Amino acid sequence: MTKVIEASGMGNETYFPPSLHHIPPAATHGEAIREAHMLFFPALDDLFAKTGVPPSSVGAVVVNCSGFCAAPSLSAIIANRYGMPSDVRTCNLSGMGCAAGAIGVDVAAGLLRAHAAMSYAVVVSAEIVTVGWYSGKDKSKLLLNCYFRTGCSAALVTTKRGGGGVKYRLVSVTRTNQTANDRSYRSGYRDEDDEGITGFTLGHGVGRMVSELLRAHLLTLSLSILPWREKLRYVAALLRHRRHDKKAGSGGGIPMPDFRAAAEHFCLPSSGRPMIWRLGQGLGLGEGEMEAALMAFHRFGNQSAASLWYQLAYMEAKGRVRRGDTVWQLAVGSGLKANSLVWERVADDDHFATERHGRTTLGPWADCIHKYPVTEG
C-alpha cells in the first residue's frame, strides 16, 4: 500500500475519519453515522450561512454517498437535523461511484423543473470511508484503502435567476452509461474475499472499458458544447485521418476535438496522478488545465463524488474563474458511467473578497491555498 500511495501523487495531509485511526479500525455502522454527521453538518451550516437561504426554504435534498446506506437515509438525517418542511423531497443515491456528484445535480435540476413551487434544492456529495475500509489480504481489494479519503461538499441549486448568491448557470448535463455491457458492469464491484471480508475490486480490462466509455461520452458531449468552428475543424481532421489510414494501411491515434474551445476550466476524475495525466493528455489539456485535479488529489485524495467540487473550489480560491467563463466537470463511476456538467460563471468577479457573511470564501483551501501548486516528484 505504501508504494501505491507514494506513486499516486497523494500528499501527507489527506483525511481519514476518527474510526480508521483506531487499531484495528472501527469500521462499524455507528462510526459511519458519526462520520456522516462530521461531514454533513459543517458543510451545510457553511452553505446556508453564505447563501442566506434558510433550511425551511429548501424543497429537495439529494445526497450522494456511494458506499454507505443508512436507515433512516442520509438525506433524512439532514432533513431531521435542520427541521425542514414536511413536503421536502429527499433522495439518497448510493452505489453510484465517483460519477454521482453530477447525477445528484441532474436529479436536483429535474425535481426543480417538475415542481414549479420549489425554488431551492441542496446537493450533498460525500465519501464515508469508515465502511469502505478493507482489512483482508486480497491485494486486488486495497484500492479504496490507498486512494479514497473522507470528504464532503454541499451545493445549492435554484431556479431563481439573478440575485447576488447565484454563481453559475447550468449549461448542459450529459450522461452516458454502459451498464448493459457485462464487461463494463463487472469492471468494478464490491464483493467478499475467501475469508468473507467485503472489499471493492477492479475487474480485468477496466482501462480498456473506460476508454470505450469515454469515446462514446465525448462524442455526445462534443455535439452539444463545441462551437461550430471547432466541430468543422474536427470533422476535417477526422476525414484526413481516415484517408491516411486507407493509404497507409495502419491505424494511429484518432484525432480528438479541442475541448479548450468550449471550456476554460476543467475538473477531472480524481483517480491518481498517472491517470489524471493520461486522461488530460488524451483530451489535449496542458498542465495548467490539469492543475486543479492534480492538486486536489494531492491535498485531499479521492473523495469520490465530492472531488469535482474540491477542484472547482481550488480554481475559485486561486481567483481563476471569471464571469463568462465555462467550467467542464467530468466524472467517471462504476457501472461504467461517465457524466459531464458544463457551467457558465454568471457571478461578478469578487476574487479579492476572502469572506462572505462571516465565512471564508476559500472553502476547504482556506488554510493551504498559498502552498499550491506544489511540485510533484
For 154-181, write each residue's pLDDT tens digit. Answer: 999 999 876 657 999 999 999 999 999 9
Please report the pLDDT score of residue 107 as a whole number.
97
- What 3-state DSSP class applies to 224? helix
Q: What is the reported pLDDT for 16?
A: 93
What is the structure's pLDDT at 250? 52
CA-CA distances (angstroms) from residue 48 to 52, 58, 82, 128? 6, 10, 11, 22
Domains 2-165 and 169-371 belong to one CATH topology: yes
> Three-class SS of residue 90?
strand
Residue 220 contacts residue 337 (beta carbons within 8 Å): no
Alpha helices (H) in 153-227, listed in sequence order: 182-185, 206-225
Q: Tens of pLDDT along the chain (377 residues)?
A: 777 777 788 888 999 999 999 989 998 999 999 999 999 999 999 999 999 999 999 999 999 998 899 999 999 999 999 999 999 999 999 988 888 999 999 999 999 999 999 999 999 999 999 988 988 989 888 888 888 999 999 999 999 876 657 999 999 999 999 999 999 998 888 899 999 999 988 888 888 899 999 989 998 998 889 899 988 988 888 888 788 766 655 555 677 788 898 999 999 998 888 899 999 998 999 999 999 999 999 999 999 999 999 999 999 999 999 999 999 999 999 889 999 999 999 988 766 566 666 666 778 999 999 999 998 65
* β-bridge partners, 341: 173, 329
Whether the Cβ atoms of residue 190 and residue 200 lie closer than 8 Å to each other: yes
pLDDT score for 295: 96
Is the four-CA dihedral 142, 135, 74, 360 of positive or negative sign? negative
Residue 32 CA to residue 128 CA, distance in Å, equals 7
Sheet holding 168-177, edge to edge: 168-177, 337-345, 326-333, 265-267
The listed CATH number (1.10.2020.10, 3.40.50.280, 3.40.47.10, 3.40.50.620) that belongs to domain 169-371:
3.40.47.10
* Total residue count of the chain as it appears in this document: 377
Q: Please name the fold of domain 2-165.
A: Peroxisomal Thiolase; Chain A, domain 1 (3.40.47)
Is the entire prediction scored with pTM above 0.85?
yes
Grid cell of 116 as nine digits: 414549479
What pLDDT shows up at residue 351?
61
CB 225 within 8 A of CB 266: no
Question: Considering only CA atoms, which of 184, 200, 172 is closest in space to residue 332?
Answer: 184
Q: For residues 336 and 99, what is the distance between their CA atoms, to the nearest angstrom?
A: 9
- For the chain, what percentages of helix, strand and coil (3-state, to nearest 5) are there? 45, 20, 35
Provide CB contacts within 8 A for 279, sequence distance 6+: 214, 268, 269, 271
- pLDDT for 241 equals 79
- Residue ranges of the domains in the chain? 2-165, 169-371
Quick check: 269 and 330 in contact, CB under 8 A?
Answer: yes
Residue 340: predicted pLDDT: 96
